[in-house]
């Protein structure tokens, strides 16, 4: 096994290392802090490009952390997942490259933009954790770890949106984002638990191969679509997005866009890779189309009346999510 085989793990280990190293490195001064932030973001982008090249040349990359067998079967007959699976195809590799570009661009912008603030060690740690969660959402192969990466990205986002602690608007935006996000995460976890309880598996491919489209599966699908539509900022669950974009540091707003796209990627994966032809007749597709159309028109309409550029971009992002859902 050569080092190219470890690229999926390396993609996650670099921002994870950066998150833990930041508080110490930032004690060494501005230059070292910027070297860490920009340098590791650039290395992450290089790894993403190499991974994309390998996937295009060699097909789907599967990386396993943990046990050699898929499940640990208890005497009671219950199967417990004992490993973490990362599966990278051409689509997810492309999304990883886009997310890494956004992370690198945000890091470059933040080097000078954040100079007037204190607590930059915390900022860099949260920035890398947000990058880690975003990239993990794009390459994980099972539901539980998708949930874990959503939570990592969400918790980091809460802190970054509220980074200007002396601004009541920033605290309000972060609180609104936290409440909406945690309700969505709870609903997603219920759906994942329901699927696991029936199929004794959390791996998306394993569930997809055995999926039956019964009542429980339909409810789980609606829960998952609702959660991910909220995470990506679709109407009518968009209420957190304009405030979060407006109050977050500008370099972070760039990365929040990529996190929204990661949620949209997850929505596409669930609809097409997991459920596929069992998508439930016309109801689910028309529900997604309706959310897309509403997001398009509402986002553009609200963007027209904004007087602050970052809130305008936030509402414009809602409209762009609508175009993607419609597609």
pLDDT, tens digit, 9 for 90 and up, residues 110-123: 887 777 777 777 88
8-state DSSP, 3: G
How many Cα atoms sit within 13 Å of 161 on the Cβ side? Answer: 26
In total, how many domains does the chain have?
A: 1
Candidates 19, 23, 185; CA nearest to 103 is 19
- 């199929």: which residue's tokens? 199
pLDDT at residue number 289: 80
**Residue 176: pLDDT band with limits 50, 70, 90:** confident
- 């859902």: which residue's tokens? 325
Range of the domain at 33: 3-326
Q: What are 287's two structure tokens? A: 């529900």
| Beta strands 61-73 and 79-88, pairing class | antiparallel
Q: What are 107's two structure tokens? A: 């890091």
pLDDT tens digit sequence for 185-232: 888 888 888 888 887 777 777 777 777 777 788 888 888 888 888 887
Candidates 228, 296, 295, 302; CA nearest to 266 is 228
Residue 117: strand, helix, or coil? coil
- Buried b / exposed e along 160-193 (16+ C-beta atoms within 10 A): bbbbbeeeeebeebbebbbebbeebbebbbebbe
pLDDT tens digit sequence for 259-313: 778 888 888 887 777 776 556 556 777 777 888 788 888 877 877 777 777 777 7
């Amino acid at each position: 096994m050569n080092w190219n085989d470890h690229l999926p793990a390396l993609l996650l280990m670099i921002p994870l290392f950066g998150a833990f190293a930041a508080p110490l490195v930032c004690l060494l001064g501005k230059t070292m802090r910027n070297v860490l932030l920009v340098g590791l973001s650039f290395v992450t982008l290089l790894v993403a490009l190499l991974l994309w090249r390998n996937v295009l040349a060699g097909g789907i990359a599967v990386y396993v952390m943990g046990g050699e067998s898929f499940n640990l079967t208890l005497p009671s007959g219950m199967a417990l997942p004992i490993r973490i699976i990362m599966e990278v195809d051409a689509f997810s590799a492309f999304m990883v490259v886009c997310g890494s570009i956004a992370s690198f661009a945000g890091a470059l912008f933040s080097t000078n933009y954040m100079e007037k603030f204190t607590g930059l060690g915390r900022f860099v740690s949260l920035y890398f954790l947000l990058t880690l969660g975003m990239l993990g959402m794009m390459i994980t192969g099972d539901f539980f770890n998708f949930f874990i990466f959503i939570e990592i990205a969400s918790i980091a986002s809460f802190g970054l949106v509220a980074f200007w602690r002396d601004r009541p608007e920033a605290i309000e935006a972060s609180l609104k984002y936290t409440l909406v996000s945690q309700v969505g995460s709870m609903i997603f976890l219920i759906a994942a638990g329901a699927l696991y309880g029936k199929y004794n598996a959390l791996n998306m491919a394993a569930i997809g191969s055995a999926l039956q489209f019964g009542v429980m599966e339909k409810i789980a699908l609606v829960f998952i679509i609702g959660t991910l539509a909220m995470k990506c900022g679709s109407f009518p669950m968009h209420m957190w997005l304009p405030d979060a974009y407006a109050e977050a540091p500008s370099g972070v707003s760039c990365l929040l866009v990529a996190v929204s796209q990661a949620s949209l990627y997850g929505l596409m994966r669930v609809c097409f890779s997991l459920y596929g032809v069992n998508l439930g007749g016309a109801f689910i597709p028309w529900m997604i189309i309706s959310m897309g159309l509403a997001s398009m028109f509402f986002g553009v309409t609200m963007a027209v009346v904004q007087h602050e550029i970052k809130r305008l971009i936030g509402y414009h992002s809602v409209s762009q999510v609508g175009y993607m859902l419609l597609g």
